[in-house]
Structure 1
Amino acid sequence: METITHETLYQSLINGAKEVMHNRMFLNKINVFPVADGDTGSNLFSTMQSIVYHAELKEDAKLTLESIADSAIIGARGNSGLIFAQYFQGLSEAIDAQTLVTKESFILASKAGMDYAYQALEKPVEGTMLTIMRAFHDALHEAAHTIASFDALIESALKQVDIAVDHTTDQLKILKQSSVVDSGAKGFAYFVKGFLDGLKGKLITDDALTSEEVIPEIDHEDGESLHYRYCTEALIEKHADLPDLKELLHDLGDSIVQVNGKHKVRVHVHTNEPSDMFKRLSGYGKILEQKVDDMVGQYNRIHNRKYQTVIVTDSIADLPQEVIDDEQVHVVNLSILVGEEAYLDKLTVTNERLFELASEKQTHPTSSQPTIKHIENNYRYLLSYYDHIIVFTVASALSGTYNVFMKAAESFNRDKNKIHIIDTKQNSVAEGLIVWEAVQQLKDNQPLDALIQRANQSISDSKILVKINTLDNMIASGRLSVRAGQLAKKVGLRPIVTLDEKGEGGIFKIAFHPEKALKKILKHLANLNRTKGIKYYAVTYVDDPSLGQAFSESLTQTLNKPPVYVTKSSGIIAMGAGKGAVAVAYITE
């Protein structure tokens, strides 16, 4: 057959996608470039899964490939996924709007796909998927005049693809050191193999696939490539005047990829400042999706794992990043909704930027709990490394997050009680302090049961006191009516906010001046320290480090010991407490 129908093309491309999905685990295992974070297989899986489940057979080859390209962009993850998505975009741009696809038109389309893939990267690197895309096209072009049938041509090209994949080991130093081929290159080879099998009628059934996201052990032990911490991506609604975003973001990091679809654009950057990236992008269209993966955390979990039990918490827990890093605490970053855009708490937006956005959009940001599926994926990933998971959540009286963690754990706890979920009945720095103490227990090699028992006792012995500087956020969030809020502002009311034993919000004391509010907090803590003893305490601030430092110094003078830490608050807490707020949390003896 010198031509194939557009239906055969569609079925074969879908089969190629399934072949990549089927080999996810192996691709993860050999992933060492550009970062040894063991997720190339999972990123390609996400991209191909979106194609398999969302792409549609249309009236002709061009419309069909446009559907595949659009689906790829929506599901694309990581360097490899975005490059692959751009390859499909090139195919769709070059293919003819016909129901029959000739060898010649397919070869021209493969050339466009290759060119689009190269153009997507700020700095293309050979010895990667790009090299294999070029090898595939060159092999097709060279053999087209001597091989008549479509499937035989692809089969001939696949042999050259496999040879080119083997050569990648010698093209990149990091591959040679690890004695592996490039993971993305191998992924493209799997795609070509699946495409060929589809042409021959050897279709992969859905039963052979799994949606499980497990990242296995990587043999590579060199962390030198981790120059930037976060693998960051944005999906943007495309505007006609959208500039070259690679140039816009070039100073923020590396591995910059821009994939242009007909209606959407996806951008990928390795950076240390995800919030800067999204601030720059905010002026160029509606941000439909944000994704941030902590590559340092992934690498350390694979190669430098400290414990067989992992502590998990949500981003509302205010805890220093150095504690999270040193003790490998896994944080689930909740979403903050600002109008129609969803940001990732503590990752893609700063507290200062949240206040700016609230003012610009004339809206009060709100938080959103994670989905059950998202938490299930987190559990599945962590249980591939750890024997037990202990989850500390924000108070269930304040958020449905606790229930989501509980529901997601059901399928994992049927046979063995591997996941333990604790409602801290606290938020902010109080939730963080409870996690901090659990970390100390873990460091001291305390048994699991003893750690959980101690945590439950600490919850009963903990409290948070928040010194509010403005009532505007309490009014905007509806916690205080506009009328009552205006009256309170008129008389200079400064409430001290707390949570009760059930985790419900309330007023601890009322003052009519910031200094008087401070004195009431200090007096309470001094009395409590005399009568019961304060075992630990910690401080958080919303936006002004100097206020946090001054608050800490006053507490240190009163209690004759410093806080165990001072840290910036969650954006979710910032939106409730407002500018200038500070808080102290404590656990009594």
Structure 2
Amino acid sequence: MKITYLDGKRLYYAFLSGAKEVIANKKELNRINLFPVADGDTGSNLSRTLSIVGSEAVKDDSLTVTLNSMGDAALRGAIGNSGIIFAQFINGLKNSIDRAESVNVSKFAQAVDNAVNYTYQGINNPVEGTILTVMKDWADSLKKLKNRSSDFAEVMEESLISASSSLENTKNQLAVLREADVVDSGAQAFVLFLEGIVGFIKTGDLKDLKINSTAKIEIAQEEEIGKETEIKYRYCTEAYLENLEIEIPALREKLSDLGDSLIVAGDRSKLRVHIHTSNPPEFFIKLNKFATILDQKADDMLLQQAVKYNRKTEIAVLTDSIADFPEEYRDQHQVHLLPLNILLAGTNYLDKVTIDSKNFFDIIDEAEEYPSSAQPAVKKIEDQLNYLAEHYDSIIAITVSAKMSGTYDNLTKAAENVKKENEELKIEVIDSKTNSGAEGLLVMEAVEKIEAGKSFEEAVSYLKSIREKLYIYVSVSDFKYMVRGGRVSPLKGKLAGFLNLKPIISIDREGNGIAFATAFSKKGNFKKIKSILEDHQSENGIKRFAVVHGDDLERAKRYLESFRELLDIEVEFLEPISPIVAMNAGRGSTAVALLEK
């Protein structure tokens, strides 16, 4: 039967059919992902983007109503280069079809051409030989075919041939693709999307058109293609914004010096910004001056590439951002980070990722409303676990004390959900029953056992057995942070300030924070902590220790030197505390964490 119009319902089902093809080939798209960075996530990002659009789109007779819902959902859910390019294209279509119930082939071809031009406008430096080129060649084909036939099925099938030819040519346009003899991953995804649409239009088959983000097909096991390349900018960083106060070209100019792969999709009312940068905190500080930030993310492409080409073990180690230990150690041993949330001045930042310790105390000292923290959402955790499941046989996740945060509970729920879809996957969520530097020491123990060849079960058993040997003692310098954070009443805070009390905070064996001791000066606190360490050393011995601090490096160094001499062992690390820990411990706080023998 001849199909001469495209309305909202037909578009809705065509979209679902196209999305299914992309999602089914997620693994292969990840495998051939080499440009702009070989981080192996194009398939995952596009699957997530299309899943969200498919689940939130409105199935309406009106083409305008359906497209508007798709455009809004695409901006909310888009992630990754290709995902945001898809979102820009969908919004370009939305803008090109003004209050139309349906369109014919000719009007559709014109709308696609406009949408491709709109997509190019959103990208700072468009690169040919990518999804952009295939979109453009497909649009050119539609313009040529619109005068030959009024049948959507015929025109779409013919135009798919041009898109497929353009896809094959991508390997000749980019050196990295030519060397590996593969096509561009994003471009491949777009052709798969078109194939799904053509399949639906030709058959009208509505069976099994529910999008399932975990849908899979079996593909032949092949060696990884490509090779590790130098990554100039570490983080694939994105923000979902509203109410932009400056023009989009002006925003692009203000952000362009922070990295590359800059894409701005949408309009001033709602938009998504993507950039590859080594400094996500600076990126978000700039954005916050010009718009309301609704959502943000920053994926570590350096770690993703290392895992793709040089995975160290078959067991992934995941920990939350409250665990304090060196970033260099995290990089060297491929430890994965789950950031907690910090709500500051109406914006939700990602601890240690989009907000860091640098200048954090200046920020909170000037804030009218003290920041608050929250555990990651279950869905966000599921996304990270699904990524790890694609690359590892099992996962050990170490969290801050369950008595202090809901992170353990949410991670446990997310793990249960992920394992329902992958019954062979082993995930163990371990409550460290501590935080900060002590949690960091537990992470290091996990890494060492796994790299020494211990099995998943052996490593889990060992980590659980040493939790009660972990201790942390925090010398708090200023009560005002605990008062503003709600941990201490204003009256007690005033009294402590009047008496110049300097508490030592610790964590009991159940994971609860406790006031362990009190002195009347920083020097008195140091002496008490030194005495505590002597007791640990004489009773059981100390295997390793670390020092962390809240913007008081000089004091932390004195702790380090003194305790290194006292214990006759080298310190594991000297690190600033995470922003979330800093909210309660405060400026000037210094802590020693230890693991007994």
* TM-score, structure 2 as length reference: 0.92
Q: How many residues align?
A: 589
| Counterpart contact for 1:22–1:209, Cα < 8 Å | no
In structure 2, runs of 5+ residues without a counterpart are: none
Percent same amino acid at aligned positions?
Answer: 37
Greater Cα offset, 413-422 or 337-346: 413-422
- The Cα shift of 1:124 comes to 0.4
Greater Cα offset, 155-164 or 16-25: 16-25
**What letter matches 2:96 in structure 1?**
A
| Counterpart contact for 1:213–1:380, Cα < 8 Å | no
Q: Is structure 2 residue 125 aligned with structure 1 residue 123?
A: yes
Name which of 385, 388, 405 aligns with 2:394: 388
Q: Structure 1 pair 439/138, CA: closer, same or farther in 2 (3 Å)?
A: same
Structure-1 separation of matches of 2:533 and 2:8: 74
- What corresponds to 1:226 in structure 2? 231
Q: Is structure 2 residue 452 aligned with structure 1 residue 444?
A: yes
Question: What are the superposed Cα offsets for residues 484-530 of structure 1, whole Å, 9 maximum, x if unpaired?
Answer: 10111111111011011111111121111112211221232234324
Alignment of 1:13-162 (within 5 A): 13-58=15-60, 60-162=62-164
Q: Give the match's secondary structure for 1:31.
A: coil
Q: Structure 1 pair 387/137, CA: closer, same or farther in 2 (3 Å)?
A: closer
Structure-2 separation of matches of 1:43 and 1:162: 22
Q: Structure 1 pair 213/514, CA: closer, same or farther in 2 (3 Å)?
A: farther
Q: Give the match's secondary structure for 1:21.
A: helix
- Cα RMSD (Å) of the superposition? 2.4
| Counterpart contact for 1:69–1:261, Cα < 8 Å | no
| Counterpart contact for 1:217–1:302, Cα < 8 Å | no
Structure-1 separation of matches of 2:48 and 2:553: 40
Structure-2 separation of matches of 1:171 and 1:357: 47
| Counterpart contact for 2:34–2:226, Cα < 8 Å | no
- What corresponds to 1:235 in structure 2? 240
Name which of 497, 508, 511 aligns with 1:500: 508
| Counterpart contact for 2:228–2:306, Cα < 8 Å | no
**What letter matches 1:394 in structure 2?**
V
- The Cα shift of 1:413 comes to 6.4
Structure-2 separation of matches of 1:209 and 1:8: 16
Q: Is structure 2 residue 353 aligned with structure 1 residue 351?
A: no
Q: Structure 1 pair 212/545, CA: closer, same or farther in 2 (3 Å)?
A: farther
Name which of 528, 545, 548 aligns with 1:537: 545
Question: What are the superposed Cα offsets for residues 226-251 of structure 1, whole Å, 9 maximum, x if unpaired?
Answer: 22221111001133534433222212
Greater Cα offset, 288-297 or 432-441: 432-441
Q: Give the match's secondary structure for 1:351.
A: coil
| Counterpart contact for 1:95–1:108, Cα < 8 Å | no
Greater Cα offset, 400-409 or 258-267: 400-409
Question: What are the superposed Cα offsets for residues 11-46 of structure 1, whole Å, 9 maximum, x if unpaired?
Answer: 334433333333323222221111111111111112
- What corresponds to 1:407 in structure 2? 413
Q: Is structure 2 residue 253 aligned with structure 1 residue 253?
A: no
Q: Is structure 2 residue 274 aligned with structure 1 residue 268?
A: yes
Structure-2 separation of matches of 1:172 and 1:455: 47
* TM-score, structure 1 as length reference: 0.94
- The Cα shift of 1:353 comes to 4.8
| Counterpart contact for 2:16–2:209, Cα < 8 Å | no
Structure-2 separation of matches of 1:224 and 1:214: 29
Structure-2 separation of matches of 1:579 and 1:178: 51
Q: Structure 1 pair 125/167, CA: closer, same or farther in 2 (3 Å)?
A: same
Structure-2 separation of matches of 1:89 and 1:412: 32
Q: Is structure 2 residue 442 aligned with structure 1 residue 428?
A: no
- What corresponds to 1:552 in structure 2? 560
Alignment of 1:216-365 (within 5 A): 219-244=224-249, 245-261=251-267, 263-365=269-371
| Counterpart contact for 1:38–1:218, Cα < 8 Å | no
Alignment of 1:371-382 (within 5 A): 371-382=377-388
**What letter matches 2:31 in structure 1?**
K
- What corresponds to 1:454 in structure 2? 462
- The Cα shift of 1:152 comes to 1.6
Structure-2 separation of matches of 1:7 and 1:389: 42
- The Cα shift of 1:416 comes to 6.1
Q: Give the match's secondary structure for 1:384.
A: helix
Structure-1 separation of matches of 2:24 and 2:65: 27
Q: Structure 1 pair 213/18, CA: closer, same or farther in 2 (3 Å)?
A: closer
Structure-2 separation of matches of 1:393 and 1:54: 32
Q: Is structure 2 residue 481 aligned with structure 1 residue 473?
A: yes
Structure-2 separation of matches of 1:285 and 1:438: 42
- The Cα shift of 1:438 comes to 2.4
Q: Structure 1 pair 193/360, CA: closer, same or farther in 2 (3 Å)?
A: farther
**What letter matches 1:199 in structure 2?**
I
Structure-1 separation of matches of 2:59 and 2:535: 73
**What letter matches 1:426 in structure 2?**
T
**What letter matches 1:44 in structure 2?**
L
**What letter matches 2:353 in structure 1?**
L
Q: Give the match's secondary structure for 1:132.
A: helix
- What corresponds to 2:585 in structure 1? 577
Question: What are the superposed Cα offsets for residues 248-299 of structure 1, whole Å, 9 maximum, x if unpaired?
Answer: 2212211111102463110111111111111111111211101111112112
Greater Cα offset, 47-56 or 558-567: 558-567
- The Cα shift of 1:357 comes to 4.3
Greater Cα offset, 72-81 or 135-144: 135-144
Question: What are the superposed Cα offsets for residues 466-490 of structure 1, whole Å, 9 maximum, x if unpaired?
Answer: 1111111111122111011011111
**What letter matches 1:158 in structure 2?**
L
- The Cα shift of 1:104 comes to 2.5
Structure-2 separation of matches of 1:274 and 1:235: 14
Q: Structure 1 pair 184/503, CA: closer, same or farther in 2 (3 Å)?
A: same
- The Cα shift of 1:448 comes to 4.1
Structure-2 separation of matches of 1:130 and 1:256: 14
- The Cα shift of 1:411 comes to 5.5
Q: Is structure 2 residue 527 aligned with structure 1 residue 525?
A: no
- The Cα shift of 1:366 comes to 2.0
**What letter matches 1:136 in structure 2?**
W
| Counterpart contact for 1:42–1:213, Cα < 8 Å | no
Structure-2 separation of matches of 1:51 and 1:424: 38
Q: Give the match's secondary structure for 2:543.
A: strand
Structure-1 separation of matches of 2:173 and 2:373: 47
- The Cα shift of 1:135 comes to 0.4
Greater Cα offset, 255-264 or 265-274: 255-264
- The Cα shift of 1:409 comes to 3.2
Alignment of 1:158-197 (within 5 A): 158-197=160-199
| Counterpart contact for 1:537–1:585, Cα < 8 Å | yes
Greater Cα offset, 301-310 or 266-275: 301-310
Structure-2 separation of matches of 1:360 and 1:64: 45
Structure-2 separation of matches of 1:508 and 1:291: 38
Q: Give the match's secondary structure for 1:390.
A: strand
Structure-1 separation of matches of 2:29 and 2:476: 51
Q: Structure 1 pair 497/121, CA: closer, same or farther in 2 (3 Å)?
A: same
